[in-house]
Structure 1
Amino acid sequence: MIVSLFGMNRQVQAAGFVDVPARALNEVNYLVEGKIVNGSSPTTFTPDKVITKAEAAVFIGRALQLNGTQRATGFPDVGMSNFASGYIQSAVDKGIVSGDKAGNFLPYKEVTRGEMAVMLANAFGYSYNNTVSGAEKALMTLGIASGLSNGTFGTDLPIKRADFAVFMARAINPAFRLKTSVNFTKPLWSTTGNLNIRTGPSTEYSSVGTIAANTQVTGAHSVGGWTYVKMGSKTGFISNYYLRSASSDGAAKPPATDSSDSKLSSQTIILDPGHGGKDSGAVGNNLREKDVVLKAGLQVNNLLKKTPFNVKMTRSTDTFIELKDRSAFAKDNGGDIFVSIHANSASSAAATGTETYYYAAANPHAADSKLLSSKIQARMLDAWNLRDRGVKPGNFSVLRENNMPAALVEMGFISNAGDASKMASDYWMNIMSIAIYNGILDYYKAKGYNVNSLYK
């Protein structure tokens, strides 16, 4: 039995709207609290209005914390000024929605119940054999949707805003579902103390209590960088940034039990979050480079600690470190590869994109440095889908003074509003950290190491 963390049976008018039907009150309240949906006016939700593809992309995008910054899209009928342009492009990039055969998105096309089922199946990762009937079955099996009174799903009938909201809330939080359909199977531990458990997957949702560091919970599904967990009789959401799959740092690294693990455990990876302390690095869009890159470094470090690899960080706090001391640290700790993490900046706010550098001049590790840089660059491009600024030789101290394969990554431009919005997002930073991690694994795989079981 799922125990809800909030009053599921409260019968109050939804978020001040005067037109929400009783069947959708709780679900609309829930989505409004998380700023996932909004009304047509301060007092009306227009529940019977058929939802459009653009609106659906916005609702799903907000739930998954996708990048909603208005920008150019790949569709001639969705301009940068379209209110949903950012969410549409992000949802398309994630394979949640798509355009038609002519290359148009048709943002104002009304969504059918069958199309809704496919969107939600794509968004929340349900297996459905890429068929509309499969998506409908998945939603009904989970208790997210039910058929009509005539026994059909109503595939071709339009889906109203109120009904879409109901199905969205059920997909996010199983406490709303028509039947118990959630399995808590993944043991997880908190990485910090005074950690909030929230009623929904964002800080907009209220906290129902806190847990101490290294507290075990059991996880189910994830929504936009948050995991739905259970602790005792309580259920709620915790940010993935504060969860790990081992109870302590010492236990996080599995023992070397075979020749493959032993080979990996002989490798030491040095992570170098740039700047720190009195050196803020680049500053833009209310962000400081030193904070952004430390966050990414810590996330990559946490991922690597769950593998047989050794991992060391030049800094794990807001500390200033001289450039010469970074390469010295790598050498002193027997580093086998070195990855320096940075955010770019330019005088033009239009400058955007991802690039990676390696040192090529008179360097016996030039080929491997280029290989490492290329593998990480490819993963970062897939992660954030920014402009590809390439893999380039660079005469940077942390590269030049090292005696191991080394790469310096520039995730994006902190001076660009679109790039910076990703740096400010827990969801997108988690995606980038996984990309850097997987890029490191790609390098080792290319070098003949067995890392297939380690990918995220």
Structure 2
Amino acid sequence: MREISALERNGIVERASRFQPNQSATRAQFAAYVARSFEPSFRLDVTEQSVLYQGKVANTSTPLNVRSQPNMDGDVLARLTVGTTVDILGEVGNWFEIKHGNGVAYVHKNYIQKIGSSTSPSDDRKVMEEGRVIANSLNVRQGPSASTETIGRLSFGTIVDIYDYSGNWALIKFNGQWAYTHKDYLVTRKPGEGSGLGNLVIAIDPGHGGKDPGAVGNGLREKDVVLGAGLELNKRLKDLGASTVMTRNNDTFLELSQRAKIANDAKADLFISIHANAAASASATGTETYWNNSHSSEESKALAEAINKRLVEDLGMRDRGAKQANFVVIRETKMPSVLIELGFITNSRDAAVMKRSDFNEVVAKAVIKGIEDFYNW
């Protein structure tokens, strides 16, 4: 396609509406193409193509690249400043075909405003998703690349409308112009979905099981404590309309990699692994929640902080914080993932909390509140 575009642009073959690249050329046509290649005076006047309308460069703080092809791989032929007028000959995907010298070239639609209209043609785009910033400071760039100019920053919690994606970059409006920001630092939802959980698939992973009891102490086995909490969480999430997948719902042993695979295969939106802690010292106490930086690291961190806060408040445990760790189940899962340590089975006070009749209910409600905090805009 690049070669055909070059032939059209240099007046060797007719425009795409007349030149049929999949059909055989006659001898006369072939002779004409060869003659035009060697003698510029024989070439077609590509500027005779009808002008659809005129546009002007807008919505950019830096000069607009004019490219030889309707994509980012095209050579930069020129740069146009804001307000420069161009003749629009046609559209190719997200690009306008324009007159350029004695030929044609391409500019991105996002930066052209139709003359005589108060809005850019690209303003007709509809909002695809809404995004919430989960980084402390998120760069806003002129183009969909880290090598393009930074034109501003978004602070944690800022909500943006997303109009399109270019690879890992989200197209947004920033200070009245089109711009891009990296999607890995946004949590997204469909417009109007609110903070409900009904659109989510949540993987629940009660740790250990079967031949692996996990931590043991004060009359408790970790595998039993976390299964009870996981089953209650599963029930309550379903009551709220969420879809769930459990790595185990009975006293079964699974390898760690199996647990991650179950979540990945289900294309879960979140992964919640539930554990109870142990230490050589009986004085160790408290709740902590872990995240990993392999996948969706910023989202995982934000989710861990939100859930840990709610668990500490509702269980009355000592706050040991949200921490980064390299546990297999949160390293190999590809969605925002956390591993919760509810408390220390080896600590008599923490164990007493785990033995309460309402423990599973309190844990489930706290985790759900943490998830809602994570998504609540």
TM-score, length-normalised on structure 1? 0.40
TM-score, length-normalised on structure 2? 0.48
Decide which structure has greater strand share. Answer: 2
Decide which structure has greater helix share. Answer: 1
Structure with larger Rg: 2
